[in-house]
């Protein structure tokens, strides 16, 4: 149950319409909590019904008309409650690892290219994060909110670094016994 909270966070950062939120979920918040526009519209409706957010009065209510939302006190309180609540990390679920395990019983044909392809994707993502860090977090920005956001970005960077290293090593090590199965 995190999507509503992701939306509340995004709306507190800046009141937005559904489409604007969708675009912001394609970067920034979406880097660690992705969502499609359908999920977002559905959730906006639910949050409005529950009194957590409301449409800014200026906007008309018809289709095809932009509708901006802002967070109400009840929504902010719920977000604060959820943020401080203990939640266990959810267990890892990764198909690439699962496929390597499967390759151990049905043969490793084709896995090598897949590892290389993933390495490339993770390198790109890493470069993107590092670019954002350079742009958004110069050393002089040091308010608490900046620190929190920076630490989150740091997680993204370190995670992609982990993947690139692990993939590099895996490719090397499995390459030594090439077309085996």
Asked if 91 is part of the footprint of a second copy (rule: CB under 8 A), the reply reads: yes
Question: Tokens in use for 14?
Answer: 């800046």
Asked if 8 is part of the footprint of a second copy (rule: CB under 8 A), the reply reads: yes
- Tell me which of 49, 58, 62, 106 binds DNA, using CB under 7 A: 62
Asked if 42 is part of the footprint of DNA (rule: CB under 7 A), the reply reads: yes
Per-residue DSSP letters for 88-148? PPPPP--HHHHHHHHHHHH--TTHHHHHHHHHHHHHHHHHHHHHHHHHH--TT--SHHHHH
How many angstroms separate the CA atoms of 172 and 7, rounded? 42
- Least Å distance between CB 176 and DNA? 33
Asked if 117 is part of the footprint of DNA (rule: CB under 7 A), the reply reads: no
- Least Å distance between CB 60 and a second copy? 29
Buried b (16+ CB within 10 A) or exposed e, 129-152: beebeeeebeeeeeeeeeeebeee
Asked if 2 is part of the footprint of DNA (rule: CB under 7 A), the reply reads: yes
- Tell me which of 44, 108, 119, 167 binds DNA, using CB under 7 A: 44
Contact partner at residue 148 from a second copy, DNA, none, CB < 5 to 8 Å by partner kind: a second copy
Nearest one of 111, 131, 120, 104 to 163, comparing CA atoms: 120
How many angstroms separate the CA atoms of 15 and 1, rounded? 21
Asked if 54 is part of the footprint of a second copy (rule: CB under 8 A), the reply reads: no
- Least Å distance between CB 132 and a second copy? 14
Question: Tokens in use for 74?
Answer: 């009840």
Asked if 74 is part of the footprint of a second copy (rule: CB under 8 A), the reply reads: no
Number of H helices, E strands in the chain: 7, 3
Asked if 24 is part of the footprint of DNA (rule: CB under 7 A), the reply reads: no
Asked if 93 is part of the footprint of DNA (rule: CB under 7 A), the reply reads: yes
How many angstroms separate the CA atoms of 150 and 17, rounded? 26
Asked if 109 is part of the footprint of a second copy (rule: CB under 8 A), the reply reads: yes
Asked if 140 is part of the footprint of a second copy (rule: CB under 8 A), the reply reads: no
Residues in the site for DNA, rule: CB under 7 A?
Answer: 1-3, 17-20, 34-39, 41-42, 44-45, 62-67, 93
């Amino acid at each position: 149950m995190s999507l509503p909270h992701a939306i509340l966070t995004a709306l507190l950062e800046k009141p937005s319409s559904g489409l604007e939120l969708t675009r912001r979920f394609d970067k920034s918040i979406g880097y660690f909590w992705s969502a499609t526009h359908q999920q977002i519209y559905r959730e906006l409706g639910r949050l409005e019904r529950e009194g957590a957010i409301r449409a800014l009065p200026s906007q008309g209510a018809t289709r095809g008309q932009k509708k901006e939302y802002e967070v109400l006190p009840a929504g902010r309180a719920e977000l604060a409650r959820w943020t401080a609540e203990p939640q266990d990390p959810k267990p890892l679920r990764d198909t690439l690892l699962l496929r390597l395990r499967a390759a151990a019983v049905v043969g490793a044909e084709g896995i090598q290219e897949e590892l290389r392809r993933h390495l490339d994707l993770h390198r790109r993502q890493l470069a993107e994060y590092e670019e954002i860090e350079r742009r958004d977090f110069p050393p002089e920005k040091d308010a608490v909110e900046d620190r929190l956001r920076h630490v989150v970005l740091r997680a993204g960077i370190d995670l992609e670094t982990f993947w690139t290293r692990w993939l590099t090593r895996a490719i090397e090590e499995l390459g030594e016994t090439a077309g085996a199965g």
